[in-house]
Structure 1
Amino acid sequence: MRKKVITFGEIMLRLSTPDYARIIQSTHFEATYGGGEANVAVSLAQLGVGAAHVTRFPDNELGKAATNLLRKYGVDTQHILYGGDRLGIYFLETGASVRASKVVYDRSHSAFAALEPDMIDWDVVFADAGWFHWTGITPAISAGAAACCAKAIEVANQKGLTVSADINYRKNLWQYGKTASEVMPDLIAGCDIIVSGKGDAKDILNISPRKTEANELASVFSQIMARFPKVRKIVNTTRGSVSATHNTLSGMLWDGQQMLETQTYDINPIVDRIGGGDAFMAGFIYGQLAYANDQKALDFGVAASVLKHTIRKDANLATVEEVEALLNGNTSGKLVR
């Protein structure tokens, strides 16, 4: 039996305006729950991979509702902690045409932000695990969350798990006295696979393309690998924005020797783009486990992300069969009977 994938990160209450309404004109909101790492776990569960999510919720009805959502989609919730004051919230205004989508956060002093390293026994969490995934959002939330993440990576390395991270940089989250460039390098050093773009590399690692190299992304990725020898694969997606409801998407992977690329997909119209990067990562993890072939894993990840753009709310609920159908060129959207 394939070992579990463990994800770690905050889950928030998402309140979305209906029918492309603006936040300032909305009298009601649609509620759901989501977070980058949890979205990966839910997506993996839909793809048939055992997944468990580790987080902390307030011990109230909101915490229970968020837990129940994870359980509904087959995610193992046995390691979730309860305590603290509140659940973080974000408000989503979905854009249309030339008007961009907008997110407003209300997440200060959340139960997750109050985490301390001794609250989680990672030896127990990783007992039946083979993969650990985190994102750059987690260590940005608080010193305690960063310390928990560091401990998780340390134990995962000791146990021989594959460690992956989307090192996405969120400038406005780093408010507790430490910068990303102070915290993130030590965490990245314990990773086998990372998601990074040129912007993340510059903001977090102060790495920019060398002027002498024609392929800027390969230049950045090779410098990252030279600095972090444990990192053996770096993946990235490239999004083209025609409008708020019309994007293009492709993916790349650098293995230290060559740059693999996918086809470019045209996504029009977009139903919900929140969680597209998480869907890519879940698809890529599935591909690594199922195919042991980097090109096929990369192709699967991008196709999974494309399908997520057609699914409302945070998590990708596409099946393996649906992703493979898209990979095989089935883009007609013809009714299935």
Structure 2
Amino acid sequence: MNNKVITFGEIMLRLATPGYLRFTQTEEYTATFGGGEANVAVSLANYGIPVEFVTRLPENDIAKACVMDLRKFGVGTTHILFGGERMGIYFLETGAVARGSKVIYDRAHSAISEIGRGMVDWEKVFDGASWFHWTGITPALSQGAAEACLEAIQMARKMGLTVSCDLNYRKNLWKYGKKAAEVMPALVDGCDVILGNEEDAEKVFGIKPEGFDATATAGEVNAAEFESVCKQLKARFPRAQKIVITLRGSVNANHNTWGGVLYDGEKLYVSSRYDITHIVDRVGGGDAFMGGLIYGLLTYTGEDQRALEYAVAASCLKHTIYGDFNRVTVEEVEKLMQGDTSGRVAR
């Protein structure tokens, strides 16, 4: 079975304060790499799925280190374009208890933000692939990035690939004169699988569950409330075969509940709910979910409940791992799915 996946987007240098230090008190930063679509690619490579990550990077040693890092995980880098002046950076301050985490972006004029239609040979990229994944972060970067993304989606459709997207609304990124609501519908219209959370659906398409406030969950999120969101998204984007919503209940910065729902147009599947009491790093949690979902849908054909459970369990484990990438195996995820939450030493 051909299950090669292509992901497209920006990867950045991540500079994080050590531990729980604030930006105003740290004297050093821990350097790693991360970005939505690259995070998904790493997850899939860890699960043994052939995957290629497409982006544009400058020709310098930081970008070289980034490509080496991706290759270390088994992610294909053959179709990365080189050019432009700089790589995007994001700074992370990890929150604790009542103080939330903070992200500062420094990604203006990054190499990929200056990409445009016609720069990627998508027909060549998609040759031999069965799945294309993108997120709402890419079209938020620039008009050119949005056009390249649309071009990719159209070619993927033409070549018969499954297309998935994570809506991933980032209000701090839409700076080039277009709103998400203007750009995203044409892109999402070409998708077979749509992932989002309650805020993404509302901020981008004005779709929301009645009476729900994401800032006041107290750790409890009622899955049934989101059936209406799924049905509204399905009505808006009839091509989509599966609408998936992640459900995060926030007790505080270190303690979340985590689950998800999947709607196939007829039935709403509801996942197990995890109580994550000591979060190490929640950045990349949604990408870990998406990577798990793609793996589950490719591997557990026709078993939507199992695919959803795999995605939630994979993401639950990501909350225990520092950095953007989810460094877990299929065996570890399936062990958690089967109910082993003991955390006992394996020896």
TM-score, structure 1 normalization = 0.97
1:279 aligns with 2:288: yes
- Which SS does the other structure have where 1:119 is aligned? coil
Corresponding residue number in structure 2 for 1:221: 230
Corresponding residue number in structure 2 for 1:319: 329
Corresponding residue number in structure 2 for 1:302: 312
1:248 aligned residue (221, 237, 257): 257
1:100 aligns with 2:100: yes
Corresponding residue number in structure 2 for 1:15: 15
Question: CA contact under 8 A between 1:116 and 1:144: conserved in structure 2?
Answer: yes
1:35 aligns with 2:41: no
Question: CA contact under 8 A between 1:2 and 1:49: conserved in structure 2?
Answer: no
Which letter maps to 1:314? D
Question: CA contact under 8 A between 1:41 and 1:75: conserved in structure 2?
Answer: yes
Which letter maps to 1:130? S
Corresponding residue number in structure 1 for 2:203: 203
Corresponding residue number in structure 2 for 1:178: 178
Corresponding residue number in structure 2 for 1:329: 339
Give the CA deviation at 1:199: 2.6
Give the CA deviation at 1:209: 4.7
- Which SS does the other structure have where 2:240 is aligned? coil
Aligned ranges 1:230-241 → 2 under 5 Å: 230-241=239-250
Which letter maps to 2:285? G
* Number of equivalent positions: 335
Corresponding residue number in structure 2 for 1:168: 168
Give the CA deviation at 1:243: 1.8
| Inter-partner Cα distance in structure 2 for 1:225 and 1:231 | 6
- Show CA shifts across 1:127-180 (max 9, x none): 011000000000000000000000000000001100000012111211111111
Give the CA deviation at 1:326: 0.3
Note the residue ranges of structure 2 that are not aligned, 5 or more in a row.
Answer: 212-222
- Which SS does the other structure have where 2:13 is aligned? strand
| Inter-partner Cα distance in structure 1 for 2:327 and 2:186 | 34
Which letter maps to 2:262? L
1:262 aligns with 2:271: yes
Corresponding residue number in structure 1 for 2:159: 159
- Which SS does the other structure have where 1:13 is aligned? strand
Give the CA deviation at 1:221: 1.8
Which letter maps to 2:277? N
Corresponding residue number in structure 1 for 2:218: none
- Which SS does the other structure have where 2:333 is aligned? helix
Which letter maps to 2:140? A
Give the CA deviation at 1:217: 2.0
RMSD: 1.4
- Which SS does the other structure have where 1:301 is aligned? helix
Question: CA contact under 8 A between 1:194 and 1:231: conserved in structure 2?
Answer: yes
| Inter-partner Cα distance in structure 1 for 2:96 and 2:235 | 42
Which letter maps to 1:149? C
- Which SS does the other structure have where 1:113 is aligned? helix
Which letter maps to 1:41? A
- Which SS does the other structure have where 2:172 is aligned? helix
